[in-house]
Structure 1
Amino acid sequence: MATFATSEQLLVIIDPAARQTDGESVRIAKDVLSAGAAAKVCLPDSPEEFARALGRRGSRRPVVIGDDHALLRAVTLLHREREPAGCGLSVVPVGETSLARSLGVPAGAVAAARTVLDGVERRLDLLLDDSDGLVLTDVTIPPTRTTRTVAREPVAPSAPWYRTLLSRTLPARPPRLSTVPSPGPARLRVQLDGETLVDLDQPVEAVTVTPGSSGLAEVEIRPLSVGAEATPVRASGQTVSVTGPDFRYRADARLSGPVRRRTWRVVEGAWGLVLPSA
């Protein structure tokens, strides 16, 4: 855990989406940061300019003003530099910020900017998948999407005279059949550190993987319940592998896939985020 002096220099990167979404919150945050520390402000117009600004930060501490996409972009760029562990990141959430809030970043421009100046850096674990994708909060594998056939009654004009004429002249038409998507149980093999927790013969409703603490991932598997509610399977380990028919998953609320196999491993203390001191 590290604290910061207000004399420290900041690199304030304002994501273009934030400027378009809520320019007033951006202005307030910039004013608070500039009044409390030596701040260099960057206004990138593209992801490439965002990356260049972050890469040229030097000794300045990076501050991102933006939404969850900007936060993920910054952590991913630092990871590719192999520097997230040595660079405490600050965030002022603007726009869609459910991810930042779930990590403990205050909502509101003033509170978040004051946290940048007065907060403490906390080391956080993350999940790294086998395609080099990062997960800051959790992975959820929801039920698979299946289709079912339903009967739809033909819709006739509502005028009474037309319905009467139709009933006298034409035989009744059978209902029209169509398919609609519906959730169904997933059949997955979930392995934790090489040990199988659930196999393909046991349908499950959902699987959740969360970076816990001390380098361990928390896994929760909810088996398909028939009648009485089934007891979830919970376990902790370092590496989680999921195999099965094409499945999709949500990582930090982003939908990915379909894939047939994905492996996540925990990276302990992989990155630093400045959060309120109390």
Structure 2
Amino acid sequence: MSAAEPPGDGDHQLLVLIDPLARRYDGESVRIAKDVLSAGAHAKICFADGPDEFARALSRRGSRRPVVVGDDHALLRAVSQLHRERELADSVLSLIPVGAAHTLELSYALGVPRGAVAAARTALDGARRRLDLLVDDSDGVVLGELRIPAAAPSTGPPHTVWDTCRTLVASLVRPAPASPSGPARAHRLRVEADGVLLNDLDQPVEGLSVAAQGDGGLADVVVRTASGETRAAEAKAVTVSGPDFRYRADIQVAGPVRTRTWTVHADAWGLVLPAADV
């Protein structure tokens, strides 16, 4: 994280992007946020009906500063789009968190206030903070943490597509517990941090985490081996390769891939946070 930036001339020209899921989840919080923002700034309100309309409105924002009303998915969608359009460096975002608690863990970890009123006031009067970003070699972004945990042991074929998805997500969210069928299956991965080998294919990995420090343009890399060893490093770029593996980037599951490189982009995006916290 860099030092806070002073307000710009366009700070009170807002584009308020309201995610449709936020309206369905808590319409009252959405109304409160809209009223607070409209009372304190020239706010153009966009009730996006879906991702396509959300993307079009963001692309046509002009000089208006985007304020996203929604959850972690909505925030990540906005950052990803601005990154693809190569406009992230010149943009700053605000978030009004509306959604279930488990869909806002990333936003709260970044310092976004809880509650529509506090977050809306921060969008109006908070301080802009530049944050580091992890970008992979397929142009995907990670705002918080990347994780590759051990795969859960097989307990027989799932009965439905939903069972498959639920099993996959559960294994990526938390380490798999021991089961009567045997211990969790570890990954065989080669992990390099700035070209330095942290782990090779002959040493199974039970978990890997990569997170931008937020300051200094480096990432913290932690490898947990099946033998119980922990290997840590700081690096600008991290490359993981091996047999097909999946990974969790923030709230999204991706893969399978055989190799992927993540690179830290220092001060790559801006988020408005409470001035007292900056």
TM range (shorter): 0.7 to 0.9
RMSD: 1.9
| DSSP-derived class of the 1:264 partner | strand
Alpha carbons 1:12, 1:62 under 8 Å: kept: yes
Q: CA deviation digits over 1:75-106, x for unaligned, max 9?
A: 01111121111111000011121111111101
Identify the residue that residue 269 of structure 2 maps to in structure 1. 271
Shift of 1:199: 0.5
Q: 1:46 aligns with which of 42, 45, 50?
A: 50
Identify the residue that residue 165 of structure 2 maps to in structure 1. none
| Structure-to-structure mapping, 1:69-80, within 5 angstroms | 69-80=73-84
Q: Give the 3 Å change call, closer, same or farther, for CA 231–28 of structure 1 in structure 2.
A: same
Q: Distance in 1 between matches of 2:137 and 2:182?
A: 30
- Any gaps of 5 or more consecutive residues in structure 2? 157-179
Q: Distance in 1 between matches of 2:182 and 2:68?
A: 40
Q: Distance in 2 between matches of 1:148 and 1:61?
A: 50
TM-score, reference length from structure 2: 0.83
Give the AA of the match of 2:271.
Answer: L
Identify the residue that residue 10 of structure 1 maps to in structure 2. 14
Give the count of matched residue pairs. 245
Q: Is the strand fraction higher in 1 or 2? A: 1
Alpha carbons 1:12, 1:63 under 8 Å: kept: yes
Give the AA of the match of 1:122.
Answer: R
Give the AA of the match of 1:21.
Answer: Y
Does residue 92 of the first structure (1) align with residue 96 of the second (2)?
yes
| Structure-to-structure mapping, 1:175-214, within 5 angstroms | 183-212=184-213, 213-214=215-216
- From the CA coordinates, give the structure whose radius of gyration is larger: 1
Alpha carbons 1:250, 1:256 under 8 Å: kept: yes
Identify the residue that residue 33 of structure 2 maps to in structure 1. 29
| DSSP-derived class of the 2:132 partner | strand
Q: Distance in 1 between matches of 2:123 and 2:221?
A: 32
Identify the residue that residue 233 of structure 1 maps to in structure 2. 231
| DSSP-derived class of the 1:261 partner | strand
Alpha carbons 1:32, 1:110 under 8 Å: kept: yes
Shift of 1:181: 8.7
Identify the residue that residue 140 of structure 2 maps to in structure 1. 133
% same residue: 60
Give the AA of the match of 1:236.
Answer: E
Q: Distance in 2 between matches of 1:20 and 1:61?
A: 24
| DSSP-derived class of the 2:111 partner | coil
Give the AA of the match of 1:199.
Answer: D
Identify the residue that residue 219 of structure 1 maps to in structure 2. 221
Alpha carbons 2:11, 2:65 under 8 Å: kept: no
| DSSP-derived class of the 1:57 partner | coil
Q: CA deviation digits over 1:214-257, x for unaligned, max 9?
A: 111110111223xxxx4421101111010111211110032211
- Any gaps of 5 or more consecutive residues in structure 1? 150-178
